[in-house]
Chains A and B, each alone.
Chain A
Amino acid sequence: MKLYCLSGHPTLPCNVLKFKSTTIMLDCGLDMTSTLNFLPLPLVQSPRLSNLPGWSLKDGNAFLDKELKECSGHVFVDSVPEFCLPETELIDLSTVDVILISNYHCMMALPYITEHTGFTGTVYATEPTVQIGRLLMEELVNFIERVPKAQSASLWKNKDIQRLLPSPLKDAVEVSTWRRCYTMQEVNSALSKIQLVGYSQKIELFGAVQVTPLSSGYALGSSNWIIQSHYEKVSYVSGSSLLTTHPQPMDQASLKNSDVLVLTGLTQIPTANPDGMVGEFCSNLALTVRNGGNVLVPCYPSGVIYDLLECLYQYIDSAGLSSVPLYFISPVANSSLEFSQIFAEWLCHNKQSKVYLPEPPFPHAELIQTNKLKHYPSIHGDFSNDFRQPCVVFTGHPSLRFGDVVHFMELWGKSSLNTVIFTEPDFSYLEALAPYQPLAMKCIYCPIDTRLNFIQVSKLLKEVQPLHVVCPEQYTQPPPAQSHRMDLMIDCQPPAMSYRRAEVLALPFKRRYEKIEIMPELADSLVPMEIKPGISLATVSAVLHTKDNKHLLQPPPRPAQPTSGKKRKRVSDDVPDCKVLKPLLSGSIPVEQFVQTLEKEAETLIQIEEDSTHIICDNDEMLRVRLRDLVLKFLQKF
């Protein structure tokens, strides 16, 4: 059993598990932090961005000044943003049988895999995951396609040139594999390969293994996966949460008795408590708006935004802010708000029960009804007519490199009355802000990450007690900035096995058993003999029938009636001296005896040494080649 690790990002995983005869890809995350190296794509022509000076080497050589621009001491690539794809060289991705998706954030690389690697398998995901994942992809494609950029920079990617660049460009990894965003056509084609599944549904893969999604409590439709055969169980835990937010709670009990537990997608901000951050978010929002400033919240169109809107629903009245408009701007804003209300069966109990009243499970319906929350596909059109300040704007993309947020950063950045509040934990807020410097607007960092923290992980592991834990290497040591916090790492016995990008891990357990069924009539014929109390043995003669990874013992065919002597097999006259080799049913080959037989039979000299085998046939080249090929063939099997 092997695990191929294709992503270095612990919360955007992409691993391939080889288990029995199946090849299963676990998640398909897309690392978008690469876009932070690019200049923002402004929706409206920005003189500031278009007049940034080109970057030149220390010696004044300016051959890169078309590709690289300088802003407040940072260098950015002036080109269409590109993403860092999962590793495609480590394993032939056309051999992947299935892809299991755990949540909508972890499927963003799907079109790259399904459309460009020869992948012919099936993708499994829950319905909300697919629907919201589609929204996220649609938004991404829309953000990038609506600002066409002719220029594509590639010179800087040259290894010799990259070395001369300032950080962080100099240290960017695998830049040659960075790719532009996919198209909507590719998205549709990729999504058409998805088969919908429900929690606890058992899906048979070639009869060899069974996979089951379980609720993970992190997002609408988010799942952990159980991959099991009759005697082995692997749990894949990715992006789970034990907090009471909108999704169905996490199913922990089903993770028990795992041989291996692959653990990814823990909180990216282990020291921040989400409740405290929500408090911080509200306080800063109120203080800004009260002073006549605007609040900008760069966010994804689904997920935490539902909780933030719910929190504001309760808060704005108490803080006397009911008259302040909330705007949600995204090409998929409307669908996101509506989808959230229809996935009742995927919601937490509290919200589910509202559906029967009947009431919308999320209070943002009421915010929309009372005109407190308004949503628009973009800043163009209706929005510009309705726009009132001071206001609160939720919009994407959290990287601040594309989407409507770029416009608001340019618009509001100059005033210290305004505030940008970062709630998504995926991007470093300082790096995100770098191309907007100098900035007068206030910046508040309130990352809200509801995924498991290390205390919860330690409780979870105590509860489910897996034999082995496998996790990204980042989780096996404290964060670099807090090297003394030994509590901010996974602590379990035996110690967790760690992996990094482009690594292949042999999972530490051997398969010992295979389930074989016995046909009833064969079972009838068995005569068990008790060899010690409780243990009986019987000899079986049968035919092992294997099909679709199912093994069946059938009664042996009846011995053919001895008919005429004509058909009797000719008995060889020249029986060699040595003992005739009996076909082996178990145990190892008696090598010496075997070599002797061969030498006697074929007049060859076979020398077996520790690290080489010599086959010498004096006058039969054909035989030598045949024997050599045989040895080589066996060698390949190991």
Chain B
Amino acid sequence: MDPECAQLLPALCAVLVDPRQPVADDTCLEKLLDWFKTVTEGESSVVLLQEHPCLVELLSHVLKVQDLSSGVLSFSLRLAGTFAAQENCFQYLQVRSTPSSPCRETPACLWPRRPVSSWCTSWLCPCEVEPRGSPACRGVTGPRVPRRSWITLKSPCAPRPPPSSPVFSSSDGSLWETVARALSCLGPTHMGPLALGILKLEHCPQALRTQAFQVLLQPLACVLKATVQAPGPPGLLDGTADDATTVDTLLASKSSCAGLLCRTLAHLEELQPLPQRPSPWPQASLLGATVTVLRLCDGSAAPASSVGGHLCGTLAGCVRVQRAALDFLGTLSQGTGPQELVTQALAVLLECLESPGSSPTVLKKAFQATLRWLLSSPKTPGCSDLGPLIPQFLRELFPVLQKRLCHPCWEVRDSALEFLTQLSRHWGGQADFRCALLASEVPQLALQLLQDPESYVRASAVTAMGQLSSQGLHAPTSPEHAEARQSLFLELLHILSVDSEGFPRRAVMQVFTEWLRDGHADAAQDTEQFVATVLQAASRDLDWEVRAQGLELALVFLGQTLGPPRTHCPYAVALPEVAPAQPLTEALRALCHVGLFDFAFCALFDCDRPVAQKSCDLLLFLRDKIASYSSLREARGSPNTASAEATLPRWRAGEQAQPPGDQEPEAVLAMLRSLDLEGLRSTLAESSDHVEKSPQSLLQDMLATGGFLQGDEADCY
């Protein structure tokens, strides 16, 4: 911790425990917590606590204060959890805590659910970031923790809740028993996060994990049970007793039902990719349950019980649940499932994409989930076809995609285009896909959308057409489309030159960079002409991102002319230097000819920092590259920098040479050597808002909210 912050810390702690002092919003507390996490990663927590006794003071003091905001309380509990994640620090806190728990006097109303559950998560979460088998982790969470330490851990950081709460009222029983009891006592709304926390732990009794997983699965099991006609696949329903409170929550109201299902789906989504997720993972049941939830949302599920009937009514048209279920369905594509369920998943996705009732946000999620399923579908290795299911699916998908590309709502057109881009990026080479795509009107519709009134859609259309064109898919190969195949470059160039919005122009620059990198026909035919045209258009652009992308394109061109950038990894096997395609002077002449130097030097003085930075990097790379050429020495003889120096003021003014590319290579080289590029780079590296983003500024802001900084008061007069 730097001394400036250390100096401010006691005052801040005082503000936090003072209920009369307004504390800045929760985001400040979150930022503060993040900062503490960074600090504890860098130095020992014990040392930190020793050097700053105000922190221990804060942790034990918050419990004594009445009327403290729950935000501050929650913050303190999580801070304690962060410190206690290091074993010695945990012990330190244990010793420092006062034997008589001060929280007995704390009024019950002060302990809403939020601090309790946030305490649980704060305590469980830090452990999960510890490396596997770390003694610290075992020390805190493992069964070897003495029973008393749990209690003492509680007293400084998590006060005893009111006696009426069964969750933490018992002081005997082991740690795990207490957690297990908490799991069974908390309502369905709060036990989800706790169950998730438990399942993320690596060292935890199997019985507790099983219990936690059952708790987590309960809502979906209820849904499945309420709708399944015949006994479903084993796994999810086994052992999940009918939990009355879960059913009650699902039936209580639309919002409680949707809330519970959304949280459950989000928790499971978080758990699914983790290595420590429960095993066996009930992939088939989860898939079945998610498909059922989606069917309930679109009103097509057939209920098997009165609970099911009620769920039908509650969830029909519920966009929130639909979105959460689609997210989770997408995640489930990473596992394998029985063919029948995969078919069902694809069918429900197609219905969702097809349904006129799907809202734009639902459609976006449906496109994302469909993409994940398609890309993870099993492929026969070494074979170009896409398995038995996909061709049929694609035949049904493209008419839907066509319709979506014509949708009056721009968000829908936009997500359809993004989907198209992603899908062709991955499958552009697959025969089945090419066939289905070219048989549809999708490419023509995407081309049409280059003229869309909405700039986001134009940008997505540019990206999509660029992608399709890279793979020869932007128009059918038949002769009547020959013109369409050729005119795309000009059309994109037109957008780059005249479009009034930045997004489409940025997208065009990205496409051109890709084309240059991949040797797209339009770029490869006459590369110099291509680069010159694009750079000229980009240099005039008012949008800094377009100019930055222009430098990216220039870098690709440099790499192609002078050889790729050297790898910076010192341990990498050194590749033999690729012999440059042409002698240096010729290469430099080419760079001059396309106006690359003009562009780069102008960019060096760009008023937008990222552009200048990028240009600085590019010029350094260039200088580096040239230095490695043996031929450089030839050029060192008589540098004639006069013309370049004459140009310098114009570059500063942001003007380009007219006509571009009239610099002599030697002159440019001399200029390059004369500039202090390293110095410039380090100046540029410091962001203008580095002061505002510093932790010191955060602490000052929080103190200022409390009116604590004396100096500011004087300013008022």
- Chain A interface residues (CB < 8 Å from chain B): 271-273, 276-280, 282-284, 286-287, 290-291, 311, 314-315, 317-320, 446, 455, 482, 484-487
Contact = CB atoms under 8 A, between A and B. Distances in A.
A455 B317 CA distance: 10
A485 B356 contact: no
B453 interface: yes
Nearest to B354: A280
Contacts of A276: 355-359
A291 B403 CA distance: 13
Given A276-B357, A317-B453, A485-B299, A287 B316 contact: no
Contacts, number: 77
B310 A486 contact: yes
Contacts of A484: 301-303, 308-309, 312
B408 interface: yes
Tell me which of B403, B441, B453 has the highest count of chain A C-beta atoms within 10 A of its own C-beta: B403
A314 B408 contact: yes
Given A271-B299, A276-B357, A287-B441, A487 B312 contact: yes
B392 interface: no
B408 A279 contact: yes
Nearest to A315: B408
A291 B441 contact: yes
A282 B356 CA distance: 11
A485 B299 CA distance: 7
A35 B404 CA distance: 36
Given A282-B408, A291-B441, A318 B454 contact: yes
Contacts of A446: 356
Given A287-B403, A320-B451, A280 B314 contact: no
A225 B62 CA distance: 62
Interface in B303-361: 303, 308-310, 312-314, 316-317, 355-359
Interface string B4-34: 0000000000000000000000000000000
B316 A485 contact: yes
Contacts of A272: 356-357
Contacts of B314: 487
A314 to B, nearest CB: 7
Contacts of B302: 484
A278 to B, nearest CB: 7
Given A318-B453, A319-B406, A277 B356 contact: yes
A333 B358 CA distance: 34
B402 interface: yes
B407 interface: yes
B359 to A, nearest CB: 8
Nearest to B413: A318
9 contacts: A273-B356, A276-B355, A287-B403, A287-B441, A320-B448, A320-B451, A446-B356, A484-B301, A484-B309
Given A271-B299, A287-B402, A487-B314, 15 more contacts: A272-B356, A273-B356, A276-B356, A278-B408, A280-B403, A283-B404, A283-B408, A284-B403, A290-B406, A484-B301, A484-B303, A485-B299, A486-B310, A486-B312, A487-B316
A150 to B, nearest CB: 44
A485 B356 CA distance: 19
Contact of B406 (A277, A282, A314): A282
A274 to B, nearest CB: 10
Interface of B: 299, 301-303, 308-310, 312-314, 316-317, 355-359, 402-404, 406-409, 412, 441, 444-445, 448, 451-454
Contacts of B313: 485-487
A290 B444 CA distance: 10
Nearest to A317: B453
A483 B597 CA distance: 73
A318 B303 CA distance: 43
Contacts of A271: 299, 316, 357
A279 B409 contact: yes
A315 B406 CA distance: 10
Contacts of B299: 271, 482, 485
A287 B440 CA distance: 12
A446 B312 CA distance: 24
Minimum-distance CB pairs A-B, first 4:
A487-B313, A280-B356, A286-B406, A276-B356
A278 B452 CA distance: 19
B115 to A, nearest CB: 35
A377 B379 CA distance: 61
A290 B447 CA distance: 13
Contacts of A290: 406, 441, 444-445, 448
Contacts of A317: 453
A452 B357 CA distance: 16
B402 A279 contact: no
Contacts of A282: 406-408
B504 to A, nearest CB: 15
A279 B407 contact: yes
A283 B403 contact: yes
Contacts of A273: 317, 356-357
A277 to B, nearest CB: 6
A499 B357 CA distance: 31
A318 B407 contact: no
Contact of B412 (A277, A279, A318): A279
A291 B303 CA distance: 43
Given A276-B357, A277-B356, A284-B403, A311 B408 contact: yes
Contacts of A482: 299
A320 B448 CA distance: 8
A315 B407 CA distance: 9
Nearest to A312: B408
A455 B315 CA distance: 12
Nearest to A454: B313
A596 B308 CA distance: 68
A291 B440 CA distance: 12
Contact of A486 (B309, B406, B412, B452): B309
Nearest to B445: A290
Nearest to A319: B406
Contacts of A319: 406, 408, 448
A284 to B, nearest CB: 7
